[in-house]
Structure 1
């Protein structure tokens, strides 16, 4: 039997939840003497005991749970989840009908009404990511709902939460047809190899789809392109298919080499004609500067936080320095595609990092394009703080 608890909001938090804010923060609630279990249903009331919403308790880095409904009599069961999924899938009809794209987000957590739950589509296969033990406790109902709403060729899952400091390890396969990996998916006509059963990552970040398309369609032709923090080289593939004269992909992970070769291969690209470096990006900047290497286009998409034996990097404090290092190896008139998925600051703050770097190096610049999350990555209406992706195309003017 699922635990059900009544929790009172502080008066100052009532307005936010009433207006549609989906996240339940610990400080928003008056202290409760009842110990909450992951997955407990929460009857959320104002200080006078009047009903506001129903949510669930699930610890993740953003808060302690999420609002599920503001209808007091609505049951949280398989039918509830099926309704949410039908609404989400209807929004993605264009993607299901597309002939040149077979990988996209089907359900984007709080943007589609269920915080902590992400569902991605990969050429007939569905990958479900669970971000708390609380939402995972609804697993049976959610999988029943998914099978009711769509035809599932094969189902995989990722548990992106931990217990007692240890991430849960499991076979990612759930049901249906087992994938023959690498699975080839299409994105705006480009091929990408993915693996749904190989650790935390799949081989491609779907939220950068439109950025890769822009690089291919408008900025790569006749250019030399440096792809830093390149992962599996997805941006490098887009650049070559857009007519780049050469690409250099740099990533510290040893797996980046075979994975990048694989991405080139599934697009019929001779990987030996491209440069793939397995090394620390910061070391590569120094290497390139020493050797007088410069590029027409630099893709800059670092992790939000990284630590090596030599240094610690955080986009929140170190992005201006990263840009200044990038400018040293970018040709005059060149382009920097600056990107971050750090949700702790907004686009305005990110642009201030850009301005700081260019001002301190006495370099003029022009912003050509900006991108945030694509349309399949739905975010809650009127709450832009959930739109974590920030990408700025910067032309170097000096």
Structure 2
């Protein structure tokens, strides 16, 4: 196994078991490892520090796997990690009200670059690192043994693959092509999921708990669900007695799927209005016509993919939330989210304070949202905490 030598003074993060080593922290490499090879990381004195995946095309040159020199990072090691991750989600799937969740969450489950989502009897995977790409035959075999899925579909279309020198993938890894519509249940609500054509891996199961929390306030209320996708917040609000729900999304496929999901759940379609439009444009249209709401959900895509984009993203979040506040009836609730890892909760609160000032509104933070337990945050990898949100009362 090839040795990668760390620069003197760069040991602290490795000792603290942070799984990333950036290229600038590496002094030299003894030999020429191929991208995706498992290498030994040693300090300047030659002492062992960790084993990890190597990739010289990535800014994150090493993704660390194991800190115990006596533990071989072999096929058995990877099978054990997969089994442990799947076992940790059993309680979520044991109630009978939910059969979809994230089974493996990359670094949080000690499998950097691997995401696996379960949709009933089908699995969707995203492989984002060259090292994990090499291990996929082992991973797929273990998933088949543990779960016996009807299909495993590769949704590795994330732009981050390009940083590892890999092309995007959208192929069947096991079984047949997943059907165009896979029915899943989350918190007792039924959804049709399009794995092959849907966003990300097909569904946003990271909002499972937050949908339930927001829906608890929906009875008798007029609700606006922005960036609604296939209707997570919409369906839960209708289930919980909302007077009306308006859903806005720019995707025609998402809107059509949402309408089908309303039929699937036998909900009152007369209480629902779907609008295919750019959300910011539609919010301004509501402002011009004077339409207001009791509850507004703002769940936009990632505005800040990196810290360098944080200033620009903060302005976008501020403008979006300012308009949302202007559309709320007095004392109305704003459930607002950021899935940008670079945006921490305190910064997000400050952005909302600026939005409230510009909108001439008073805002109370009455609740905080986070990602659910199938999206754990590893103590040595705080970067895994990406989803945050606030429930605000606006006056």
* TM-score (structure 2 length as normaliser): 0.90
Per-residue CA shift, 1:268-308, capped at 9, x if unaligned?
A: 124354111111111111110111100111111111239xx
Choose from 106, 109, 127 the match for 1:112. Answer: 109
C-alpha displacement of 1:116? 0.5
The aligned residue for residue 310 of structure 1 is none
C-alpha displacement of 1:140? 1.2
The aligned residue for residue 395 of structure 1 is 393
C-alpha displacement of 1:59? 7.5
Choose from 20, 23, 27 the match for 1:26. Answer: 23
C-alpha displacement of 1:357? 1.4
The aligned residue for residue 223 of structure 1 is 221
Choose from 142, 146, 158 the match for 1:145. Answer: 142
> How many pairs align?
386
**Is the contact made by 2:112 and 2:129 (CA closer than 8 Å) also made in structure 1?**
no
**Is the contact made by 2:57 and 2:165 (CA closer than 8 Å) also made in structure 1?**
no
The aligned residue for residue 196 of structure 2 is 197
Pair 1:170–1:124, CA change in 2 (3 A):
closer
C-alpha displacement of 1:255? 2.0
* TM-score (structure 1 length as normaliser): 0.90
Alpha-carbon distance in 1 for matches of 2:180, 2:358: 47
The aligned residue for residue 262 of structure 2 is 264
The aligned residue for residue 238 of structure 2 is 240
1:55 aligns with 2:48: no
C-alpha displacement of 1:244? 0.8
Q: Which moves more between the two structures, 82-91 or 97-106?
A: 82-91
C-alpha displacement of 1:158? 1.6
Alpha-carbon distance in 2 for matches of 1:5, 1:393: 50
Q: Which moves more between the two structures, 30-39 or 41-50?
A: 30-39
The aligned residue for residue 97 of structure 2 is 100
Per-residue CA shift, 1:291-333, capped at 9, x if unaligned?
A: 1100111111111239xxxxxx953332112111111111110
Alpha-carbon distance in 2 for matches of 1:360, 1:262: 39
The aligned residue for residue 40 of structure 1 is 37
Alpha-carbon distance in 2 for matches of 1:65, 1:342: 23
Secondary structure at 1:12 match in 2: coil
> RMSD between aligned alpha carbons?
2.4
Alpha-carbon distance in 2 for matches of 1:256, 1:123: 20
**Is the contact made by 1:194 and 1:202 (CA closer than 8 Å) also made in structure 2?**
no
C-alpha displacement of 1:235? 1.2
C-alpha displacement of 1:32? 3.6
Secondary structure at 1:305 match in 2: coil
**Is the contact made by 2:219 and 2:240 (CA closer than 8 Å) also made in structure 1?**
yes
In the alignment, structure 1 segments of 5+ residues that lack a partner are 307-312
Pair 1:152–1:255, CA change in 2 (3 A):
closer
C-alpha displacement of 1:30? 1.8
- Where does structure 1 differ by over 4 angstroms across 4 or more consecutive aligned residues? 33-36, 58-62, 163-167
Alpha-carbon distance in 1 for matches of 2:249, 2:24: 40
**Is the contact made by 2:38 and 2:131 (CA closer than 8 Å) also made in structure 1?**
no
Pair 1:78–1:390, CA change in 2 (3 A):
same
Pair 1:72–1:8, CA change in 2 (3 A):
same
**Is the contact made by 1:338 and 1:391 (CA closer than 8 Å) also made in structure 2?**
yes
Pair 1:164–1:57, CA change in 2 (3 A):
closer
The aligned residue for residue 128 of structure 1 is 125
Alpha-carbon distance in 1 for matches of 2:169, 2:176: 21
**Is the contact made by 2:19 and 2:381 (CA closer than 8 Å) also made in structure 1?**
no
Pair 1:26–1:61, CA change in 2 (3 A):
closer
1:6 aligns with 2:7: no
**Is the contact made by 2:37 and 2:131 (CA closer than 8 Å) also made in structure 1?**
yes
Alpha-carbon distance in 2 for matches of 1:303, 1:61: 24
**Is the contact made by 1:126 and 1:152 (CA closer than 8 Å) also made in structure 2?**
yes
Pair 1:221–1:100, CA change in 2 (3 A):
same
1:278 aligns with 2:276: yes
Per-residue CA shift, 1:130-164, capped at 9, x if unaligned?
A: 01233212111222232343333322222232489
**Is the contact made by 1:183 and 1:193 (CA closer than 8 Å) also made in structure 2?**
yes
Task: Write the mapping of 1:133-212 to structure 2, written as runs, cut at 5 A.
Answer: 133-159=130-156, 160=158, 161-162=161-162, 167-171=167-171, 173-176=172-175, 178-198=177-197, 200-212=199-211
The aligned residue for residue 340 of structure 1 is 338
Alpha-carbon distance in 2 for matches of 1:95, 1:62: 35
In the alignment, structure 2 segments of 5+ residues that lack a partner are 305-310
